[in-house]
Structure 1
């Protein structure tokens, strides 16, 4: 009996070592999905592309889900790795990889085969050779967090709660995923290579890469995931600002600058949603340094300044934007609202100063009494002076008579 227990313990230890139970994620962040707040501002972000698609039934998917959910065939609990320790993202090795040293690193470009199903067995996506940069937020969190734990060639099952998949909104584009849907991912890690050196990347490829990162940021923004949007825009900016050892034409420089300014403008919008006012202001100022008449940057700068209580500066910025685009109803409405608020603030300040300094009588009521009082004082003073003078003359006469 003791030999059997020792054998079982050794088996469990070997499983834990093989799964890398003690592996720590260097990302660590638990990004919550933020609710979208419609503030009436047209942030000019492109809509999600409707690539069609739909739900596909698959007997093989049903079989896979049954194998996972059937208690008689359910694998031992020890084979599942609780990735974040909260039970909402789990990984199980189906087929071991080459070695623990072959795990991909953040920043590398990885390629996987991916099959995504709902918990009821519905296949929502099945793709081969899916490539993305690990840790850049190009894919759902479930993939970004678990693929970096896989060995090269490994096949794994991943159970992801909606929070780490497509969240409360779901996805209306490919893959089509309903709101609050938990997913089962079948992943096969094919390769991992270092990202290309930006300094040696041809300008056309840099422009394309930066544009893809910016578009991914737009997807995050439209889903209300503003922290990930800022991250994607930041990566795109790094690509546009990287020095180049390859010849670049003036037209390509202009295209890179255009991508950069779009990233900064959209980043300012996302930072505003996160209440990061100083960061949003810096983004707007950066745009205006290149394009002083950029209407979006002027508008968002005005909004930031208003939120910081700098109403006079905010009004100047919005007036400038409205002058450049007089028919823009959004700018006009924001400016009208701000002018009214600024007027109310000035009235409140005047009332506060009056309270601090007291309530002096009205000027119109003060002038007449002051004039009357002034004349009466003058007559009294004149009368007194005359009396003193007369008294002085009489005293002189008396003294002279005595002499």
Structure 2
């Protein structure tokens, strides 16, 4: 536009940049449509490309020709062979432009008819635009650069210079490698790096870098406009080394490129087993419980001391079976999340490693309470056969084997691992849902292919597995789950004394004394001489007496207070 033509003036007339009603981005060629309810009209002259349209904050580049309704031309970028660039939705142009151009696709050409209220109003723009003039603009949207308000508070604007690859973004635990260059508004260089690695949640240089990288893709290059609150705030930063000082309350311009990142996942809910992927694996398949895994393994202490090195000769890979306590718990949990060919660095806290005891390994001693680090390559694995891959005799045999393994673990006091043998459990009860394999109860789920004899065997195994699992849950103080498991058994065998007894135990712990009493009485009707049930009934009666005393005291106090209140009111 001509320098003396005040195209921007009317942008300040209305600070509210509303989103137009309807969808003018789907006009047919030659069709005209009203945008919003303020009289703005758009006629499609040439269709654009793709589906995307610019948004508020984006930097758009256009060619245009502006005329009055009588055809008088008052301005044209085409005549000057000079495109016009501006930031959309910031009041830099008349409101009709802000509303209209955000409905356009790349290379689209449209004619906008803009009423005075969305243009220059009653004042006009002398001498070329009279008061209360309706204007027409023939606009072609050549391109735009996406500019996003990352924090939604105007603190960091991100302009994409080069688009990245794929769709993934780094997360807080991940380790990113970036190149950056930071300058003040006047162009003074204050910091730069040709390649620095940092953990996203820990950040680097200033808070804006960690905020920005979580919105970026691999290979993406951006320009960040950073307000002081996401830079160095009111204090600024003193000069050090080759880097200049940053004045108080200084805004920054940062060129940032995300080179790559290493995915770091929290294997356990308590974040005490962390896995950093050094090399991505193949496909989607992962091991399950019972998988035989072959790995290359190097174990180190935090100071770099190597205490274990196995499988680095390809002819002598280290082989172990997952969830058989052949390796430390943290390593078991990490390997089950890996893919074939994946290389990962696994950091394991003492609780999932060697605990408070000293451990003598192949190459060095691991001191008590040591956090250990393993570099693991999952070379290959053979999964334990899933239930859907088995015929019916195999399912029943597998269920019996899992039940027996569970019994051994339960007797050894390993209730969590025993429970896993009795049912299909998740290695991580968070939303990750990393299922680790079918266990005993799953193998004997109803199958239409079962013969009558196999159905009988299945029923016996299912009852045993659920009862044994209920015993595990009681030990683990998961009383609600114990109650559910006993109920499953009673749906199959309504007179099962063990199920009634264990459900009563679970109900007592949940203060459901009525159901507990009902279950115990029924169990005694079936087996009057059962010593365990008798003892539980005795304990239940004491519990009921205790509750009755508490209730009597509570209601006694309440009635006493009511009586005193009534006496006071009668006076």
- 5+ residue gaps, structure 2: 1-191, 199-217, 219-257, 311-315, 360-365, 425-438, 562-571
How much has 1:287 moved relative to structure 2?
0.6
1:169 and 1:195, CA in 2 relative to 1: closer, same or farther beyond 3 A?
A: same
CA contact (8 A) 2:287 2:335 kept: no
1:313 and 1:198, CA in 2 relative to 1: closer, same or farther beyond 3 A?
A: closer
How much has 1:258 moved relative to structure 2?
2.2
Please, what is the CA RMSD of the aligned residues?
5.1
1:356 and 1:271, CA in 2 relative to 1: closer, same or farther beyond 3 A?
A: same
CA contact (8 A) 1:169 1:223 kept: no
Q: Are 1:243 and 2:447 an aligned pair?
A: yes
Deviation per residue, 1:198-245 (Å, 9 max, x gap): 34512232123334444565576567675665454331322221535x
Q: Are 1:203 and 2:405 an aligned pair?
A: no
Q: Name 1:259's counterpart in structure 2.
A: 461
Q: Are 1:191 and 2:380 an aligned pair?
A: yes
Q: Name 1:62's counterpart in structure 2.
A: none
Q: Are 1:298 and 2:490 an aligned pair?
A: no
Secondary structure at 2:380 match in 1: strand
Q: Name 1:282's counterpart in structure 2.
A: 484
1:23 and 1:101, CA in 2 relative to 1: closer, same or farther beyond 3 A?
A: farther
Q: Name 2:201's counterpart in structure 1.
A: none
How much has 1:297 moved relative to structure 2?
1.0
Q: Using the alignment, how far apart are the partners of 1:212 and 1:358 within structure 2?
A: 63
1:251 and 1:192, CA in 2 relative to 1: closer, same or farther beyond 3 A?
A: same
1:102 and 1:222, CA in 2 relative to 1: closer, same or farther beyond 3 A?
A: farther
Secondary structure at 1:241 match in 2: coil
How much has 1:284 moved relative to structure 2?
1.0
> Which one has a larger percent strand, Structure 1 or Structure 2?
2
How much has 1:303 moved relative to structure 2?
1.3
Secondary structure at 2:447 match in 1: coil
TM-score by structure 2 length? 0.38
- 5+ residue gaps, structure 1: 1-5, 32-83, 172-176, 360-403
Q: Name 2:352's counterpart in structure 1.
A: 164
How much has 1:291 moved relative to structure 2?
1.6
1:265 and 1:180, CA in 2 relative to 1: closer, same or farther beyond 3 A?
A: farther
Deviation per residue, 1:91-116 (Å, 9 max, x gap): 797xx8xx632574255974323689
Deviation per residue, 1:6-53 (Å, 9 max, x gap): 99949999xxx9x9722546xx5426xxxxxxxxxxxxxxxxxxxxxx
Aligned pairs (5 A) from 1:21-36: 21-22=262-263, 24=265, 28-30=267-269
Q: Using the alignment, how far apart are the partners of 2:495 and 2:298 within structure 1?
A: 47
Higher relative CO (CA 8 A, sep ≥ 6), structure 1 or 2?
1
1:294 and 1:168, CA in 2 relative to 1: closer, same or farther beyond 3 A?
A: farther
Secondary structure at 2:444 match in 1: helix
1:103 and 1:11, CA in 2 relative to 1: closer, same or farther beyond 3 A?
A: farther
Q: Using the alignment, how far apart are the partners of 1:266 and 1:179 within structure 2?
A: 35
Q: Are 1:318 and 2:507 an aligned pair?
A: no
TM-score by structure 1 length? 0.51
Secondary structure at 2:518 match in 1: helix
CA contact (8 A) 1:112 1:187 kept: no
